[in-house]
């Protein structure tokens, strides 16, 4: 027999309950973790953009003495605390999250948009209401929920704990170019559902900013950029898009049939084309002049496919080394550097 109700309540409902002392935000079930300012800003940015947030769980009990319903937040404490704090001018949305509403308190939002305060108050939060449920039942519910949880992979853990402009940029570009990954068979849909696209984009952005690095360093850069990310996001976004556009123009729908669609080789293809167009940081490789057309680049890169089909005795030392580096799918810095150097020399020579 069902002993909970699934409902939606507006932000204003939660505000009224809180002001009337009918909302308990610190019951014994809640963990005492505290969100960072950047995490709180990211949540409010999600709300002002009208995107959904995870549901909350509330136990509703009747206070016999006051004859009022009291609502205990069983799960969702930090989300609701953040929302209520923002409504009471407790903090501002970060400008790096939202260029229009960033840097303003809730009470100031009407100076730039006369409707946004109303939209926030009307925003609906999905809620599971546990009516008069005893502690033992509440604990059993969360034990059962956790039994079906999928163990997070490394990228999912990173995304759950980072909220800065680098994270949002990597997420946005991964989603914008979703069809590119699928059409060119770089990633499959199940990989994208587990954030393989975000991992790839973050890896490529790091190369654009820092130069070629090991894939193992992705989390370290997320941590570093969470504290300080002063790079021009618009330039990074534009250069990333132009590099993928160049790759599309070079291969003309044939990338999906090339060895270079394999994700570790695609990384090196991207760094190669990016270097040709913009120059990689901390990389001394030559860059082609304007006389080398996309058609010539396509023809020269196509020889890589031949390497995988040829007999080993016909390889030059450089070809043999590149093939070994490619077959091992290694993502260490030195191997990535060698693969990119090989492709650049192939294009130029």
260 and 171: one domain? Answer: yes
Query: What is the chain's Cα-based Rg?
Result: 26
Residues of the domain holding 39: 5-147
- Residue 232: which residues within 8 A CB-CB, separation 6 or more? none
Task: Please state the domain count of the chain.
Answer: 2
Long-range contacts of 192-198 (CB under 8 A, 24+ apart): 194/153, 194/155, 194/156, 195/153, 195/155, 195/156, 195/159, 196/155, 198/155, 198/159, 198/170, 198/171, 198/174
The pTM score is 0.87
**Which of 22, 136, 11, 107 shows the shortest CA–CA distance to 72?**
22
Please say which residue of 147, 179, 199 terminates a domain.
147
Task: Tell me how far apart the 2 most distant CA atoms of the chain are, in Å.
Answer: 90
Question: How sure is the predictor about 30, in pLDDT bands with cuts at 50, 70 and 90?
Answer: low
Same domain, 210 and 225: yes
Tens-place pLDDT, residues 184-214: 999 999 999 999 999 999 999 999 999 999 9
Q: How many CB atoms lie within 10 A of CB 82?
A: 21
Q: What is the pLDDT of residues 276-326, one digit of tens each?
A: 999 999 999 899 988 889 999 999 999 999 898 877 678 899 999 999 999
Q: Of 86, 117, 147, at which residue does a domain stop?
A: 147
Q: Indicate if 57 and 114 belong to the same structural domain.
A: yes
Q: Indicate whether 159 and 109 sit together in one domain.
A: no
Q: How far apart are CA 8 and CA 124, in angstroms?
A: 6
Give residue-wise pLDDT tens across range 75-98.
899 999 999 999 999 999 999 999
Residues 91, 183, single domain; the answer is: no
138 and 213 fall within a common domain: no
**Boundary residue ending a domain (122, 147, 172):** 147
The verdict on 334 and 214 lying in the same domain is yes
């Amino acid at each position: 027999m069902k002993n909970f109700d699934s409902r939606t309540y507006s932000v204003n409902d939660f505000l009224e309950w809180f002001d009337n002392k009918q909302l308990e935000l610190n019951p014994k079930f809640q963990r005492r973790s505290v969100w960072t300012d950047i995490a709180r800003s990211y949540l409010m940015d999600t709300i002002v953009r009208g995107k959904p947030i995870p549901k909350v769980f509330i136990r509703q009990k009747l206070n016999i003495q006051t004859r009022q319903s009291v609502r205990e937040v069983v799960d969702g404490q930090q989300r609701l605390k953040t929302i209520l704090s923002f409504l009471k001018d407790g903090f501002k949305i970060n400008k790096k999250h939202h260029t229009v509403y960033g840097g303003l308190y809730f009470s100031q939002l009407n100076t730039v948009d006369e409707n946004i305060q109303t939209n926030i108050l009307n925003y609906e939060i999905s809620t599971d209401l546990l009516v008069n449920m005893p502690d033992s039942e509440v604990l059993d519910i969360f034990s059962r929920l956790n039994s079906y949880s999928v163990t997070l992979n490394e990228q999912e853990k990173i995304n759950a704990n980072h909220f800065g402009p680098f994270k949002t940029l990597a997420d946005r570009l991964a989603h914008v170019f979703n069809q590119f990954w699928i059409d060119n068979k770089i990633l499959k849909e199940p990989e994208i559902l587990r954030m393989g696209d975000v991992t790839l984009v973050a890896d490529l952005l790091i190369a654009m900013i820092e130069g070629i690095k090991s894939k193992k360093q992705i989390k370290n850069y997320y941590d570093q950029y969470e504290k300080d990310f002063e790079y021009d996001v618009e330039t990074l976004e534009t250069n990333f898009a132009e590099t993928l556009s160049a790759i599309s123009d070079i291969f003309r729908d044939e990338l999906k049939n090339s060895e270079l669609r394999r994700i570790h080789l695609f990384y090196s293809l991207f760094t190669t084309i990016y270097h040709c167009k913009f120059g990689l940081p901390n990389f001394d490789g030559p860059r082609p002049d304007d006389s080398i057309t996309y058609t010539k680049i396509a023809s020269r890169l196509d020889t890589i496919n031949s390497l995988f089909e040829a007999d080993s005795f016909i390889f030059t030392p450089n070809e043999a080394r590149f093939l070994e580096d490619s077959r091992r799918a290694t993502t260490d810095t030195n191997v990535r550097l060698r693969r990119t150097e090989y492709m650049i020399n192939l294009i130029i020579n």
